[in-house]
């Protein structure tokens, strides 16, 4: 009878050391294998060349390594790379490498599909199929790091959790993945180079603050008026802006780290003066900067990018209030790799 073998990367280092001791080996063997699994990114037990054949066979009999597989890789004319990533159970997620002159950023997924229902986002149409495991998130980063070295001659410099899914609805696994990414036993990357983006789940934002995390937080705001926000992001009806604001104030008090608001301006939705005033007011409560992001159409007539004049009005009002505002141009649009476009079209 075929027994379902456990993914060896679900074991902590201590558990792995204990496993070897229980099997009559030295605990040191656990360290060796752990290093292969994480910092050396082994895809199979065979890769572990300094481990004896007998040990490798023993591992093979007891465990699997559910490594991701990059199924297809598309390269945009602007240099953006999109990976369609096949998981061990056949499901697919996408991750993106975004190069600039000075750095490369990995945009990674945290769920297959998404728990939330933002009307302007292609990923929301997929619904949530399951959460990604810590190793599946980690593997996406490793794959992009390799591509960064190959195409841009330097290691990955930043990571944003802005791919598929809502990271705070897969809290523990995202935290574990970040722990490995930042640990010297993994990638050893500084948490300052990592940004977790959330649609805004107040309870979980407070939990992040309580857990004393050192990475950056971005919130997809899109409107500072409850009626509008809950129309375009229906889940947010359960999380009114006042409650979100309170959680962000809590975050800042604990972490002293400024929040980035992601904000798209759409024609006839939030391009009016009341919307601008509401955003400026909201930003006064929470130390933040605002990223105005370009809308990437997803075949939905309801949403259209606002005019440049409306965007200029936002910039003028925010700057006048002393709030840092940046306009973010889309990257990788030609290969459906831009914000909100990840929808497994090729899979
Ligand atoms: N669920 C998290 C992580 C996804 S990040 C979050 O919402 O923050 C993806 C970002 O792209 C979010 O800021 C989202 O609001 C934005 N986005 C979604 N659809 C978009 C679209 N069609 N054009 C531009 N940005 C979009």
Tens-digit pLDDT profile for residues 5-58: 999 999 999 999 999 999 999 999 999 999 999 999 999 999 999 999 999 999
- The answer to whether the CB of 198 is under 6 A from ligand 1 is yes
Q: Which positions are annotated as active-site residues?
A: 94, 339
CATH of the domain at 252: 3.20.20.70
Share of the chain above pLDDT 70, in %: 99
The answer to whether residues 8 and 112 belong to one domain is no
Q: Is 26 exposed, middle or buried (0-12, 13-18, 19+ CB in 10 A)?
A: exposed
Q: What are the pLDDT digits (tens) for 89-110?
A: 999 999 999 999 889 999 999 9
**Shared domain check, 302 and 229:** yes
Element housing 242 (H / E) = helix 241-255
The verdict on 11 and 102 lying in the same domain is: no
Does 197 contact ligand 1 (Cβ within 6 A)? Answer: yes
Please give the pLDDT value at position 127. Answer: 82
Residues 36 and 134 in one domain: no
* Mean pLDDT, rounded, for 115-144: 94
2 pLDDT exceeds 60?
A: no
Question: Could you count the other beta carbons within 10 Å of the beta carbon of residue 185?
Answer: 14
In a domain, 347, yes or no: no
pTM: 0.95
Statement to judge: residues 17 and 111 lie in one domain:
no
Burial label, 318 (beta-carbon count in 10 A; 0-12, 13-18, 19+): buried
Ligand 1 pocket test, pick from 171, 202, 235, 293 with the greatest ligand atom count within 8 Å of Cβ, gives 293
Whether residue 141 sits in one domain with residue 259: yes
Domain boundary residue among 36, 64, 92?
64
Is residue 307 assigned to a domain? yes
Hey, what are 142's tokens?
Answer: 């490793």
3-state secondary structure of 224: coil
Residue 328 tokens, joined: 């973010």
pLDDT at 3: 64
> In this structure, are 154 and 284 located in the same domain?
yes
Q: Is residue 341 one of the residues assigned to a domain?
A: no
| 220 Cβ closer than 6 Å to some ligand 1 atom | yes
Whether 185 is in a domain gets the answer yes
- Final residue of a structural domain among 15, 33, 64: 64
**Spatial distance between the Cα atoms of 78 and 98, rounded to a whole number of angstroms:** 9
Contact 289, 260 (CB under 8 A): yes
What is the number of structural domains in the chain? 2
Range of the domain at 60: 2-64
Structure confidence at residue 271 (pLDDT):
98
| Structural domain contains residue 342 | no
User: What residue numbers does the annotated binding site cover?
Assistant: 114, 118, 121, 165-166, 197, 220-222, 296
Q: What's the whole-number average pLDDT of the chain?
A: 95
pLDDT score recorded for residue 331: 86
pLDDT tens figures, 236-281: 999 999 999 999 999 999 999 999 999 999 999 999 999 999 999 9
pLDDT at 86 over 80: yes
Domain contains 151: yes
Same domain, 311 and 274: yes
Distance from residue 17's CA to the centre of ligand 1 (Å): 41
Q: Which of 45, 64, 83 is the last residue of a domain?
A: 64
| Same domain assignment for residues 217 and 105 | yes
* Residue 346 placed within a domain: no
């Amino acid at each position: 009878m075929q027994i379902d073998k456990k993914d060896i990367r679900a074991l902590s280092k201590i558990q792995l050391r204990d496993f070897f001791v229980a099997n009559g080996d030295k605990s040191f063997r656990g360290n060796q294998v752990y290093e292969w699994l994480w910092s050396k990114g082994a895809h199979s037990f065979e890769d572990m060349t300094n481990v004896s054949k007998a040990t490798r066979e023993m591992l093979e009999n007891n465990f699997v390594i559910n490594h991701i597989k990059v199924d297809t890789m598309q390269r945009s004319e602007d240099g953006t790379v999109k990976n369609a990533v096949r998981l061990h159970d056949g499901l697919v997620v996408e991750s993106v490498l975004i190069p600039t002159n000075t750095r490369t950023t990995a945009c990674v997924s945290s769920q297959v599909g998404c728990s939330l229902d933002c009307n302007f986002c292609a990923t929301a149409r997929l619904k949530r199929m399951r959460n990604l495991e810590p190793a599946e998130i980690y593997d996406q980063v490793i794959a992009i790091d390799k591509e960064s070295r190959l195409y841009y001659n330097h290691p990955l410099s930043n990571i944003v959790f802005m791919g598929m899914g809502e990271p705070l609805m897969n809290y523990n696994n995202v935290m574990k993945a970040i722990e490995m990414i930042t640990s010297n036993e993994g990638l050893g990357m500084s948490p300052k180079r990592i940004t977790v983006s959330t649609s805004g789940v107040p309870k979980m934002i407070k939990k992040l603050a309580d857990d004393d995390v050192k990475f950056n937080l971005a919130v997809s705001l899109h409107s500072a008026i409850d009626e509008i926000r809950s129309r375009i992001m229906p889940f947010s009806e359960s999380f009114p802006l006042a409650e979100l604001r309170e959680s962000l104030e809590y975050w800042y008090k604990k972490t002293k780290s400024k929040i980035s608001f992601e904000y798209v301006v759409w024609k006839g939705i939030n391009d009016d003066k009341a919307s601008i005033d509401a955003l400026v007011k909201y930003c006064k409560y929470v130390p933040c900067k605002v990223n105005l992001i370009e809308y990437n159409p997803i075949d939905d007539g309801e949403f259209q990018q606002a005019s440049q004049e409306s965007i200029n009005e936002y910039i003028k009002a925010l700057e006048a209030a002393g709030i840092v505002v940046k306009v973010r141009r889309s990257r990788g649009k030609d290969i459906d790799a831009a914000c909100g476009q990840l929808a497994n079209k090729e899979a």
